[in-house]
């Protein structure tokens, strides 16, 4: 079982490009839902690459790096624009304290 979310964005140069996220329903995801910890699902998706999971923010950063979408179009639909900027290499991550 899985959940897929797709959104069409303007493509640089014309047309549209599909931005998407993919969440596989793993035992950990099921437990988060069952325990009412849905606010933690996005972090679990970002950590679930070994299951093929990809968050919308991760995919938006990929599209920016590939120069398929303009950053401002990606930021407009991002869950967290700061995360997209960081993943796209547009800003440096904060140094640990």
pTM for the complete prediction?
Answer: 0.84
Tokens of 49: 């690459």
pLDDT for residue 94: 53
Q: Yes or no: say if 24 and 41 are a contact pair by the CB < 8 Å rule.
A: no
Q: What is the band of 20 on the pLDDT scale with cuts at 50, 70, 90?
A: very high
* pLDDT one-digit tens code per residue, 60-81: 999 999 999 999 999 999 999 9
DSSP string, 4-25: EEEEEEEPTTSSEEEEEEEEE-
64: DSSP letter: H
Average pLDDT value for residue range 43-54: 89
List CB contacts of 64: < 8 A, sequence separation 6 or more. Answer: 71, 74, 84, 88, 90
Which helix (DSSP H) or strand (DSSP E) does residue 2 occupy? strand 2-10
Q: Categorise residue 28: left if φ over 0, alpha if ψ from -120 to 50, beta otherwise.
A: alpha
């Amino acid at each position: 079982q899985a959940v897929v979310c797709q959104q069409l964005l303007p493509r640089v140069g014309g047309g549209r490009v599909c931005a998407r996220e993919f969440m596989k329903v793993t035992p950990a995801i099921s437990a988060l839902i069952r325990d009412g910890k849905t606010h933690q699902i996005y972090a679990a998706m970002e950590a679930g690459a070994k299951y093929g999971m990809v968050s919308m923010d991760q995919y938006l950063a990929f599209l920016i790096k590939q120069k398929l979408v303009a950053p401002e179009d990606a930021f407009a639909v991002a869950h967290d624009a700061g995360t997209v900027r960081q993943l796209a290499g547009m800003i440096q991550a904060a140094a640990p304290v």
